[in-house]
Each structure stands twice: as structure tokens, then as C-alpha cells.
Structure 1
Amino acid sequence: MTIELYTWNTPNGRKISVALEEMGLPYKVFPVNIGKGEQMAPEFLAISPNNKIPAIVDPDGPGGKRVSVFESGAILLYLGEKTGKFLPVPLIDRIPVYEWLMWQMGGFGPMPGQVHHFIALENETDRAYGLKRFMAETRRLYGVLDRRLATNEFVAGPLSVADFAILGWAWRHPRHKVELKDFPNVERWYNALMARPAVKRGMEAKLD
């Protein structure tokens, strides 16, 4: 059955379209225009209590029952469990997937997101302060990722949902003013992922 993807053209939205394509799951996009406040609509609130995209509805959830899932990290874990893909079975092998997924959710997303916010400010004083603070932290996080990828093809060993999560934000590196050539291992990883046919489809899917 077709998964319903409620989303918009954002890094968090792209995480899910890429994962769905890589997992070979049929899905239909239901755009939620966050610029117009559609994420505040009661019908969206019913499946995403935090009024944030993305969210999914799976008509064929556990036990064949319809289920909704919100928060991009939770969606990735759910889809990995559902398909048995990109989420290792042994707990010992899942640990790095959990670690790097949480690393993305807690840092490599919120910090670049702050850069996006401050870049758009007209007040030069506020803009300069925000960019000095959050661009430094964003570059530090790129450095953490670069060191990890120096000894690993993918962030958690084999390709996993953690890579899809991080890719969604690395995709926006021009917007948060980061040159991937400054982080050669990230650049190698990024180019390899973006060359995958399913990732291309996920990145090109119309989400708005």
C-alpha cells in the first residue's frame, strides 16, 4: 500500500523522500506549505502534534492497521524497522546508527538551521552575531563528520538511515555557506550518495 508523505521541500523532508526511494516503498506526497502556515491546520495537527513536517501515514502499519508517525528521525527508524533495510538487526550494529542519527537530530540540523535564519536578517548587528556563533558550530560539526568519514565509507558502517538523515542537511551546504572541499571526506561521502539513482529520485521528488 502507498505511504502518505506530508512534507515540504526542506532538509527534513528530503530525508524521508530519499529513504522511501532507497527502500523501494511506494508513496504519495501531500505538500504542506509551511510558508503559508498549513502545518497549523487541525488535520495536520492530528498526525503531527508538534506542527512540524515531515509526517507519514502508513495504511499498512503494524498488524495491518493504519498508523501515523511524526519527527523525521522517528520516521526513518520506523521505515527501517518496517522494511528491514538500512537498519541493522544486531543491537551492537545498531548503536552507531542510533548515535549518528541522534547527532544529526540534536546538532547537524539545528545549528545549520540557525545559520539559515540569521543569514536572512536585515539587522546587521544581529546578523553578524548569529552568523559568528552558529557558523562556527556548524563548521565544527562538519569537522566531526569529516573525521568519522576518514575511516568509514558511511557514518555507521554500512549505508543506513543515519546517512539519509545527515544527507538531508548536507544537501543545503551552499545555503549555510560551507564549501565541501574544506571537508574532503564529507565531500567524497556526499558525492557518492548523490550519485545513487534512488537518492537522485528522492532529491528530485516534488515536495512542494
Structure 2
Amino acid sequence: MIDLYTTSSPNGFKATIALEELGLPYRLHHVKLSAGEHKRPEFLALNPHGRIPVITDDETGVVLFESAAILLYLAEKTGQLLPLETRPRWEAIKWLVFHASSMGPLLGQRVHFEMFAETRMPIVIDRYRQLTEEAFATLDARLADHPWLAGDAYSIADIATFGWTHIAAVCDFSFAHHLHLSRWHERVAARSAVRRGIALPAPATGP
């Protein structure tokens, strides 16, 4: 049995969506950040960096943090959501890394500075708007010629990227002018497992 420690956030949604897509049985533990539960010793024993999500797998003894690592593990465990053929497999991994190195960090900083920072800094906000726009354009160009980021198959790369485009949509960071990215986002959002995944463990109400 897999135990998932998470909350409602872009990174958390990736894990819940993947588990729902794969149909794996799991126990959900809501880590309440506002109560400081991510800084308690029992959670830090799982992730010393104090971030969600974390999974533990009773079957293998594996303990993992970092959403991209969790997605890779779940895909490898089930043989699903990661193509077997060499070229599309590495396309999926490449776009998974793009999400981890570009999409996530840039949108995370934009959300902070544009919505939650106590001091508004226009030059910083403009910088992150430009950088996220460039990331959106990169994804749009990829999706102009491919239905999914790995090519023909929906994969963990799509789940990872959707975690952040979902939050961008919630925050009104519009990417509607990127037609291919917008259509892809709508297709992912319409999946029943995705709808379940973004409803767990509870609606996000703060940073």
C-alpha cells in the first residue's frame, strides 16, 4: 500500500492525479501547512526539506519526495504513463524535467510575488511574467504538432505540467492566447482522474 502525504498545491496535485489515473490503492494523509505539520519531526523524517508531496510504499520500502521522482516511480511501478519505446520515453522524461526546472520554479515564484508577497515589486513581477510567458510559448510550440508532450501518448509529463497550468488558470495567469496549450489543458482537465485528483485532499485556500 502507498501512503501519500500531501496538500492542495501544484506539486501535490501531480501525485493525486497520477495515483487516480493509475488506479493504485493508497492512503491519503492531509499535511496541513498552516498548522506547521510539514515541520514536525515525523514529517521531516520522511522529507528533511519539509515539502510535500511524499510517498511511502509498504511493498518496496521506498520513501520518495519531489513530485517528478514520485511520478517516475509510479510510472515504473505500474508500467503505465511512461512510453516503453526509447524515443517517446525520453520525450516524456525531457518534458518532465522541463516542468521541474522551468515551469514549476517560474510559476511558483510568479504566484508568490504577484499574489502573496507583502511588498509589491513591479520589476520582479514583470520579470516572472516574461519568463512564464516564454515557458507557455515553448509548450505551445511543442503541442502544435503533438497531442501530448511525449508525442502520441498521455504521460507523466502531461500530469506534471498540468499541475502548474491548473494553478495558472486558478490564479488568472492567462495562457488563452496560446491556442495549442489551451486546448491541451482543456483535454487534460476533462479527464475524470484529473478531476478527482485536483479535489484531493481539500480545496486550496492559501499559499
TM-score normalised by structure 1 residue count: 0.91
**Is 157-166 or 43-52 further displaced after alignment?**
43-52
**Is 108-117 or 167-176 further displaced after alignment?**
167-176
Q: Is 1:31 aligned with 2:30? A: yes
CA contact (8 A) 2:6 2:201 kept: no
- Residue matched to 1:136: 130
CA contact (8 A) 2:8 2:200 kept: no
- How many Å apart are 1:176 and its aligned residue? 4.8
- How many Å apart are 1:27 and its aligned residue? 1.4
**Secondary structure of the corresponding residue to residue 150 of structure 2:** coil
Measured in 2, the distance between the counterparts of 1:129 and 1:31 equals 36
| Aligned match for 1:153, one of 129, 137, 147 | 147
| Aligned match for 1:162, one of 157, 169, 174 | 157
TM-score normalised by structure 2 residue count: 0.92
- Gaps (5+ residues) in structure 1? none
- Residue matched to 1:60: 59
**Is 38-47 or 109-118 further displaced after alignment?**
38-47
Measured in 1, the distance between the counterparts of 2:43 and 2:30 equals 11
Q: Is 1:92 aligned with 2:115? A: no
Amino acid at match of 2:31: V
CA contact (8 A) 1:115 1:176 kept: no
- How many Å apart are 1:139 and its aligned residue? 0.8
| Aligned match for 1:102, one of 97, 100, 104 | 97
**Secondary structure of the corresponding residue to residue 99 of structure 1:** helix
**Secondary structure of the corresponding residue to residue 57 of structure 1:** strand
- Residue matched to 2:181: 186
- Residue matched to 2:66: 71
Measured in 2, the distance between the counterparts of 1:133 and 1:154 equals 28
- How many Å apart are 1:121 and its aligned residue? 2.5
CA contact (8 A) 1:17 1:203 kept: yes
Amino acid at match of 1:121: A
Root mean square deviation, CA, Å: 1.5
- Gaps (5+ residues) in structure 2? none
- Residue matched to 1:42: 41
Measured in 2, the distance between the counterparts of 1:44 and 1:115 equals 27
% same residue:
39
Measured in 2, the distance between the counterparts of 1:205 and 1:8 equals 8
Measured in 2, the distance between the counterparts of 1:195 and 1:40 equals 35
**Secondary structure of the corresponding residue to residue 113 of structure 1:** helix
- Residue matched to 1:83: 78
CA contact (8 A) 1:73 1:165 kept: yes
Amino acid at match of 1:48: N
**Secondary structure of the corresponding residue to residue 87 of structure 1:** coil
**Secondary structure of the corresponding residue to residue 204 of structure 1:** coil
**Is 70-79 or 169-178 further displaced after alignment?**
169-178
